[in-house]
Chains A and B, each alone.
Chain A
């Protein structure tokens, strides 16, 4: 399978298999005018299989959203056919309007103007909690 190399843009690599479509949707890549390629179940020396997304333009990527979905991702920044930077992600301390609290008793379920805010309460176990009701964020 051949997918064109990109002149300027990003290669989002080492995505855990199955996460590419989540990223596509959360980052709203379908709304871009440029080419976007999604490769699923590509061979990986590290993990057996992986997903890859190629974006054919240097858009503003929301690193917090990417890290929230999969902090193992590597972002290759491509400029004039060359990888000029490899970015590793770190878990953001705070997530704002990335996901919604799924506690039906949370105040965010009725006060619609509120931002959905989660803070990282346990870095080792990758646990985020809603700042309002403190319910643990369920990533699935």
Chain B
């Protein structure tokens, strides 16, 4: 890995202080957007999306445009040289000559490490298969910080696909570094949080957690309810996907015992797991969360490009 260039492949590469700084900058951007509108004049962000994504790609592009920079890239592998058989290493070295920073999504896990080893410019991992998605975690942390005014003393319910859901694993890892965090893990047996996350993150850090398959059982205790989608693309067997995809559907009735200041989050896209009748509930923050994703990515781009 090029030591002089700072990349972000995994949320753990950022210290708690660095995350605090990013949140501080993002909050300042929200308060004073004009201050930042020309910060990246003349800079180019390459969005290399080997796997389709609407939200992440557009939020990166919006972030760079709002900083006064420019954007180029592709939105699926078929429209890149990968379709001609080019290796990731070669693509990265070529794009390094065209742009100042890269946001990359790849369907293969570990692809960002390969990219970082070859890149002369900062790489931001915008998701690698079911592995890491650090900017989603940063988005989640900014949302929690803004909506709850703290990142400690929280009871966090994680609901849905806790097995393949990379956002869940990253969020648990990130939140385990803050004080007095408790997790309620809500999932069907087949989609339970993997043992290694329980052992190597939760138990190692003495984080209290409860596992249940009942979404309403601990609803009244939650400060945050983080819903997730059962992702079709993570299943090899379609029958399993069909059986599990609608296991949880959050509706107004299920929220009847929830706290008034509950914060309902979702990394989006949503399919059926949150009923649209919840959208108007003031506790629903998932669309706001998507918006916050732009500001934290702006803060991250500034940090990695070392723009003051």
A-facing mask of B101-143, CB < 8 A → 1, else 0?
0000011111101100000000000001111000000000000
Contact with A106, one of B87, B88, B109, B196 (Cβ below 8 angstroms): B109
Residue of B nearest to A136 (CB): B196
Residues of B within 8 A of A134 (CB): 109-110, 131
A130–B114 Cα gap in the complex (Å)?
13
CB pair B87 A108 closer than 8 Å: no
Q: Which residues of chain A are near B200, meaning CB under 8 Å?
A: 121-122
Q: A121 to chain B: which residues have CB within 8 Å?
A: 200
Interface segment out of the listed A35-43, A55-63, A72-80, A109-117: A109-117
Report if A103 contacts B (CB, 8 A). yes
Chain A residue nearest to B129 (CB atoms) is: A105
Given contacts A114-B114, A134-B131, A136-B196, contact A109 B87 (CB under 8 A): no
Given A105-B108, A134-B131, answer yes or no on A111-B88 (Cβ-Cβ < 8 Å).
Answer: yes
In the bound assembly, the distance between CA atoms of A110 and B114 in angstroms comes to 12
B196 touches A130 (CB 8 A): no
* Contact (A132, B88) CB under 8 Å given A105-B129, A111-B114: no
User: What's the minimum C-beta distance from A8 to chain B, rounded to whole angstroms?
Assistant: 42
**B6–chain A nearest beta-carbon distance, Å:** 19
B220 within 8 A of A: no
Residues facing A in B31-80 (CB within 8 A) are none
List, in ascending order, chain B residues with CB within 8 A of A108's CB: 110
A136 CB to closest chain B CB (Å) equals: 7
At the interface, yes or no: A96 with Cβ under 8 Å from chain B? no
A110, B108: Cβ atoms closer than 8 Å: yes
| B111 to A, closest residue via Cβ | A107
Is B89's CB within 8 Å of the partner chain A? yes
Q: Which A residue's beta carbon lies closest to that of B195?
A: A136
Given contacts A111-B114, A114-B114, whether A132 and B87 have CB atoms under 8 Å apart is: no
Whether A32 sits at the interface, judged by CB under 8 Å, is: no
Q: For residue A106, which residues in chain B have a CB less than 8 angstroms away from its CB?
A: 108-110
Q: Are A107 and B88 in contact (CB under 8 A)?
A: yes
B73-97 Cβ-contact flags toward A at 8 Å (1 or 0):
0000000000000011100000000
Residue of A nearest to B87 (CB): A111
Q: Is A34 an interface residue (CB 8 A)?
A: no
Type the 1/0 row for A100-140, where 1 means its CB is closer than 8 Å to any CB of B.
00010111111101100000011000000011111110000
A133–B131 touching, CB < 8 Å: yes
The reply to whether A130 and B110 form a contact with Cβ atoms under 8 Å apart is: yes
Q: Contacts of B106 on A, CB cut-off 8 Å? A: 107
Contact at A132–B110, with CB atoms within 8 Å? yes
Residues of chain B within 8 A (CB-CB) of A130 are 110
Kindly list chain B residues whose C-beta atoms are within 8 Å of the C-beta of A131.
110, 113
Q: How far is the CA of A134 from the CA of B131 in the complex (A)?
A: 8
Residues of A close to B88: CB separation below 8 A:
107, 110-111
Question: B108 contacts which chain A residues (CB < 8 A)?
Answer: 105-107, 109-111, 133
Tell me the nearest residue of chain B to A130, going by C-beta: B110
Residue positions of A touching B, CB distance < 8 A: 103, 105-111, 113-114, 121-122, 130-136
A-B contact pairs, 7 of them (CB 8 A): A105-B108, A105-B129, A107-B108, A111-B88, A111-B89, A132-B114, A133-B109
Given contacts A103-B109, A108-B110, 13 further A-B contacts (CB under 8 A): A105-B129, A105-B131, A107-B108, A107-B109, A107-B110, A111-B89, A131-B110, A131-B113, A132-B111, A133-B108, A133-B129, A133-B131, A135-B109
10 closest Cβ pairs, A-B complex: A132-B110, A133-B109, A107-B108, A133-B110, A107-B110, A107-B111, A105-B129, A105-B109, A132-B113, A106-B109
